[in-house]
Amino acid sequence: MILNSRQRAAFEEDGYLVVRNFNSRERVNEARSRFEKLFRGEFETGLQPDEWNWRFGITDASLTRQICNGWKSDRAIARLVLDARVGRACAELMDWPGTRINQDNVIWKPPGARQVGFHQDNTYQEWVDPPSMITCWMALDTTRRDAGTIEYVRHSNHWPVQTRKFTFHAPDDYHEALKFTAGELGIDAYAIDPIEVEAGDAVFHHGKTWHGSGQNHSGQPRHTVVSHCMSSDSRFHADKVGPIYGRYKKYGSTEMDESFFPVIFRKDGYRSPCLESLTET
């Protein structure tokens, strides 16, 4: 996975980049087949994910279903999320020496599922030093705008990071945070691009790029696996401890343990030793 100068320039200008046919049909089908088991709490590895925001028979059926760090629970998800090609592309686009996984999202948006509020990923990275990430959003279905696809505000990667946090899951107005921030910055007009892609396509977006998704008005579900990456040199912030991932911070140290934040690509060829067992078939 080597990006050309045109792709890198488009990412830097627009804040996102679509890459067609990134994943094979076999990998797409394999990962999609694991969604129902994951959300029923059937975990291949025996490990629960770090966040499990929707459960059959318990959670509001109209909500978008999300699991965070499904790579710990299922090897088919891990094979997508921890792929060295993801890491290499992210490192190239961000000009980093390498990448490590920050977290993943396993997202299932059935017909009728409600919206996800517009936000910048970097808003939630206070616990990381430096507080910056890049995301690889991988489609497992043909995705059209009426299916609640991801939407990007073109060029918003050049805006400052919004520190105020708004409603994320199923807000009444999923553009609320975007409109507030644009008003604060004196931006009267901006372009929102709904992403229409095929299964196997991927989209990379900068951690400062504003994005969200509307309600799924189609009759088809949307399945997506998302890899959020940070620099291989990232460390925990010395003082700011995240409410979830702070549990992995060692006492008296800012080092990130590769068992929980593995290095998936580095320019010198290094990958965390644990990746072989995490992604084995």
* pLDDT tens per residue, range 72-85: 999 999 999 999 99
CA trace torsion 267, 158, 177, 107 (10° rounding): -30
**What number of other Cβ atoms are within 10 A of residue 169's Cβ?**
14
116-119, strands of its sheet edge to edge: 116-119, 211-213, 150-153, 192-194
**Contact in structure between 127 and 216 (CB atoms under 8 Å):** no
- How far is Cα 202 from Cα 173, in angstroms, rounded to an integer? 27
Q: What is the pLDDT of residue 232?
A: 98
- How far is Cα 10 from Cα 67, in angstroms, rounded to an integer? 30
Q: What is the pLDDT of residue 237?
A: 97
Reduced to 3 states, what is the DSSP secondary structure of residue 122? Answer: helix
Reduced to 3 states, what is the DSSP secondary structure of residue 207? Answer: coil
Q: Is the pLDDT reported for residue 281 higher than 80?
A: no
Is the whole-model pTM more than 0.85? yes
Averaged pLDDT, 176-187: 97
Over residues 139-161, the pLDDT tens digits come to: 999 999 999 999 999 999 999 99
- How far is Cα 274 from Cα 158, in angstroms, rounded to an integer? 36
Reduced to 3 states, what is the DSSP secondary structure of residue 156? Answer: helix
- Least Cα distance to 234 among 124, 137, 135, 102 occurs for 102
Q: What is the pLDDT of residue 57?
A: 86
- Least Cα distance to 98 among 260, 267, 270 occurs for 267
Q: Is the pLDDT reported for residue 1 higher than 70?
A: no
Over residues 196-215, the pLDDT tens digits come to: 999 999 999 999 999 999 99
Q: What is the CATH number of domain 5-274?
A: 2.60.120.620
pLDDT averaged over every residue in the chain? 96
- How far is Cα 68 from Cα 53, in angstroms, rounded to an integer? 8
Over residues 29-74, the pLDDT tens digits come to: 999 999 999 999 999 999 999 999 889 988 998 899 999 999 999 9
Q: What is the DSSP string of the chain?
A: ----HHHHHHHHHHSEEEETT-S-HHHHHHHHTTHHHHHTT--TTSPPPSEE---TTTS-TTSPEEEE-GGGT-HHHHHHHT-HHHHHHHHHHHT-SEEEEEEEEEEEE-TT---EEEE-GGGG-TTEES---EEEEEESS-B-GGGT-EEEETTGGGSPPP-S----BS-SSTTHHHHHHHHHHT-----EEE--B-TT-EEEEETTS-EEE----SSS-EEEEEEEEEETT-EE-SS---TTGGGGPPTT--PPPTTTS-EEEETTS---TTHHHHS--
